[in-house]
Amino acid sequence: MSEFTATWIGGSSGPTHTGSGTQNNFISPESLTKNASGQTPRAVARSELIWLDRHFIEPEGYPDAYDTLVGRRTVLLDGANGDGRHATARCLLHRLPPGGGALHEILLEREEGSSLLLDPEVVADDDRLLLDLAASGERLGAAALDELSAFRKAVEERGAGLVVVLPAEARHLLTPQLNDLRREISRPPERELELSIIGRHLRYAGRDPRGVERLPPDVMAYLGTAPRLSDVATFAQYLCDAAHRAGTFTEQCALALKGLQEQPRLAVETLRTIRKGAPRALLITTAMLSGARADAVHKGAAMLLDDRQASPHMRYLLERRSLADRLGAIKAEIGPAGLARFESIGYDSAVRIQVWENFPDLRDPLRNWVARVLSLPGLTDGNRDQLVERFAEQCLSTNDATTLLDLAKHWASPESGTPPLTRLRGAAHALEYGLNSSRCGGEFRHKIYEWATRPVAAPFRKVLVGVCAETMTVRHPEAALVRLHHLARREPPSAEARNALIALVREDHRLHRRMLNRLARGLESGGWAADTELFLDLAAPEQLGNPGIRAHPLIAESGVRNDLLVCWTAVLRAPADEQWTTLAEAWLEAACGDPHAADRFLDLLVTACDRRGDRLGVLYRVTRDWSARQPAGQGVASELPSVLLRKMRASPHVRVTPQQEATAP
């Protein structure tokens, strides 16, 4: 995955040709998913979890829930909607000792080869698992709870941790054993939690957290209505942003509260008041590109009006009001560094919502406009990412996943040559936003699976590989593994999906085990040639014999050895010995270096020959030639051919072969 060679300049939109001759830009799938700061989704997810842990305020019942998780490795989290059960679950898992395990969300989807919603095989040593049933529906939630006991057993055996977020009013679905693991969280009394959230936001924004002691009466009255904690966090963030826009702390509080409560109504009034196309175009463009340079906003508004086809007279241009005046008419301004923004905090979001909900005929034109605006030279990568996210947010607000999915594929389609980098990045970020949606994520995963099982154009394949390897793996690595495997089976020699899959599997014992099982099933059925190459890459003895932080290595597991045997048996049937010789020699070297694993490695090779004299003879020859190349004095290596021959003769799997068939001495 290291094919990206390009020169970057400031906020440029893509690779720059800096020399003579033909320009060849190689774009790696990973680069398409990076944000404007160069972070991959996995790095962003880690940062977000750390941020959440720093800002998290423990609700009532948290200590009891934590003690249950530590002592029994599973806790079922109950509470009212809006009281932060999901955030509490993530912090519980993040703080669970000894640390080091990845945090994974469990999908309530039956993947290939499994009839279970909760497959115990997905549980790895020291894993951190989150099962959110809050929005699953009673039927699916009940089915998951039925399978929970067997799943919990694997969690306990492997020293993992599991937090289940229960749906509202789900107590009647719990058995007595599960009810014993249920712990309820709730808000502390007297607005303690809300004030703590605001104080912590102020502290991490570099402001005096004692400001919560000076909150004006209207803010205290709002907090007294017990708003959702996510709304309280939004208010706290608005309050931090208001420091750059208002004078006194009281004025900043008023601006933040207005942004939270009044902007939807003001957006409706503005759209009702402004009737002409030009100011409305500017209003919509500013809402979609808030934070971009003002001249880029001006060009974007012209594109929305399709001014490219017009030829205005010079007099009209000279008599037109200044950009600052026109921005002022829609309650916007040119702020520091020439960046356009609305005067009120939260107004851009309110405008986007109102336009999408109340002007449905504008949705298709806006979709086409977004694709064109992505190529504006005045935009930074951050502006483009925000534009895609803001459009995606509106699509999914009306459950219109299809529009966003079709748009992502269209942006990455090579209609006339290779799509520009800006469109490929836009496609990747659109899919990323959809995958992270709690309502539509399943639809996006299903569609990506459908695409992965069919031939796709090279640019779109890069997008899919990047999204699976960097975005889907954050919360659903098993689903990412399945899709990358299908992409790897169907890709040309570029091997992008294969490289991404190998990198993903090698860093996780659980995924390594599952991948070997998939390869065994594929090779046993005589399927894809790519599966042989993947096996030869993933059966390296250092990966199989190194336990890492686990109690035992993979090759010590009987299920893994069975899968290795199936794979080796299929590979040894191939007529080309050179295809597997390198791996076989690596196994021979491992057998010399680790006496505990020697029998496992050698016995697997002998048994995989499937009682065929010709294969046994070739294996013996490979062993003899390898041994002869080793430095003198290595007794174990020199004795290995004899050890292997004894195993061949003693193996119950080896039949007696006619003299003319045998090639081993």
- Answer yes or no: do 269 and 256 share one domain: no
- Answer yes or no: do 354 and 364 share one domain: yes
- Answer yes or no: do 289 and 329 share one domain: yes
Q: Is 641 left (phi over 0), alpha (psi -120 to 50) or beta?
A: alpha
Binning pLDDT at 50, 70 and 90, where does residue 61 land? very high
In a domain, 433, yes or no: no
Number of domains in the chain: 4
Binning pLDDT at 50, 70 and 90, where does residue 100 land? low
Q: Within a 13 Å sphere around the CA of 32, how many CA atoms are in the beta-carbon half?
A: 36
Contacts 24+ apart (CB under 8 A), 647-652: 647/602, 647/603, 647/606, 648/606, 648/616, 648/620, 651/603, 651/606, 651/607
- Answer yes or no: do 67 and 167 share one domain: yes
- What integer pLDDT is reported at residue 16 of this predicted model? 38
In a domain, 462, yes or no: no
Of 184, 207, 239, which residue sits at a domain end?
Answer: 184
In a domain, 531, yes or no: yes
**Whole-angstrom Cα distance, residue 222 to residue 319?**
47
74: helix, strand or coil: strand
In a domain, 87, yes or no: yes
- Answer yes or no: do 516 and 599 share one domain: yes
Packed helices 458-466 and 477-490: angle between N→C axes, nearest 10 degrees: 160
Binning pLDDT at 50, 70 and 90, where does residue 634 land? low
Closest of 464, 492, 372 to residue 420, by C-alpha? 372
- Answer yes or no: do 139 and 225 share one domain: no
Range of the domain at 322: 263-379
Cβ of 614: how many Cβ atoms within 10 Å?
13
In a domain, 501, yes or no: no
In a domain, 44, yes or no: no
181 has a pLDDT exceeding 90: yes
- Contact in structure between 424 and 31 (CB atoms under 8 Å): no
Of 207, 241, 261, which residue sits at a domain end?
Answer: 261
- What integer pLDDT is reported at residue 170 of this predicted model? 74
Max Cα–Cα distance, the chain, nearest Å? 102
- Answer yes or no: do 515 and 649 share one domain: yes
Of 139, 166, 184, which residue sits at a domain end?
Answer: 184
Give the CATH number, domain containing residue 123. Answer: 3.40.50.300
Binning pLDDT at 50, 70 and 90, where does residue 307 land? very low
> 0.85 cut: is pTM over it?
no
557-580: average pLDDT: 86
Mean per-residue pLDDT of the chain: 82
Tell me the per-residue pLDDT of 247-297, one tens digit each, with 9 for 90 and over.
Answer: 888 889 999 998 888 887 888 888 878 878 888 889 989 999 998 999 899
**Whole-angstrom Cα distance, residue 502 to residue 481?**
10
Q: Encode 645-663: b = buried (16+ Cβ within 10 Å), e = exposed.
A: bebbeeeeebeebeeeeee
- Answer yes or no: do 248 and 178 share one domain: no
Contacts of residue 80, Cβ cutoff 8 Å, sequence gap at least 6: 168, 186
310 has a pLDDT exceeding 50: no
- What integer pLDDT is reported at residue 483 of this predicted model? 96
Packed helices 294-304 and 277-288: angle between N→C axes, nearest 10 degrees: 130
**Whole-angstrom Cα distance, residue 25 to residue 7?**
9
- Answer yes or no: do 308 and 220 share one domain: no
- Answer yes or no: do 366 and 319 share one domain: yes
**Whole-angstrom Cα distance, residue 541 to residue 592?**
12
Specify the range with the lowest mean pLDDT, choosing from 387-391, 497-501, 589-593: 589-593
In a domain, 569, yes or no: yes
Rounded-to-10 torsion of CA 314, 318, 322, 323: 10
- Answer yes or no: do 236 and 315 share one domain: no
In a domain, 80, yes or no: yes
**Whole-angstrom Cα distance, residue 18 to residue 610?**
58
Q: Encode 63-83: b = buried (16+ Cβ within 10 Å), e = exposed.
A: eebbebbeeebbbbbbbeeeb
- Answer yes or no: do 515 and 634 share one domain: yes
654 has a pLDDT exceeding 80: no
